[in-house]
Amino acid sequence: MDRLIEVFRQEGFEGASLARLQDASGLKRSSLYHRFPAGKNDMACAVVAEVTNRFGTTILAAASTDEPLEDRINEIGRNLVSFYDDGHLPCLLDTMSIGQPAGDLADLLEQAMTTWISVLAGLSRDAGHSRSDAQVRATDAVASIQGALVVARTTNNHNAFERAIALLPERLLQRD
């Protein structure tokens, strides 16, 4: 699964050829189709589901601890830095959303992004922000991180990613 994740993370759904997925997995085409009967779409759905699960258990889990609110947000930030290798790795949701994902894949991508935003919005609500303000703050925070990953990937300058992570507590907690 890790090898398939890496192919989709680097090449997206459209760019990931069956030959590349076969090479990366070390499986013959027949074995891939045995495990993923609907082919590349099944593989992509399995990859997104796996990464979403990992994201929830390794990154967003900090939101549910009993630690002080700012500590939880800072832990999420540290987890994001690790997950994205200091901004060197692209976001799977980004690369998989290029083109026109449809059906189950589109639903999984939307669910993953909605969950990420929802968890951050919950932290912002815990800080006393209204539901609508917390939603905007969380959406803006995720957009900043996602944009910073694109900037890092295209310019090989990771400063924007570092700033987006550093500003996460301020974006979610600060009173206007």
User: What are the φ and ψ backbone dihedral angles of 84, each rounded to 5 degrees?
Assistant: -100, 15
Domain count, the chain: 1
Q: Residues in the chain, how many?
A: 176
Tokens coding 14: 């459209």
* Residue of 39, 43, 38 lying closest to 12 (CA atoms): 43
Residue 138 neighbours by CB distance under 10 Å: 23
Q: State pTM to two decimals.
A: 0.90
Answer yes or no: are the C-beta atoms of 110 and 51 closer than 8 Å: no
pLDDT of residue 176: 62
- pLDDT, tens digit only, all 176 positions of the chain: 999 999 999 999 999 999 999 999 998 988 988 999 988 999 999 999 999 999 999 999 999 999 999 999 999 999 999 999 999 999 999 999 988 787 999 999 999 999 999 999 999 999 999 999 999 999 999 999 999 999 999 999 999 999 999 999 999 998 76
Tokens coding 66: 């009993």
pLDDT of residue 150: 95
* Residue of 7, 18, 13 lying closest to 44 (CA atoms): 13
The CATH code of the domain that includes 26 is 1.10.357.10
Tokens coding 160: 């924007």
Q: Which domain holds residue 51?
A: 2-173
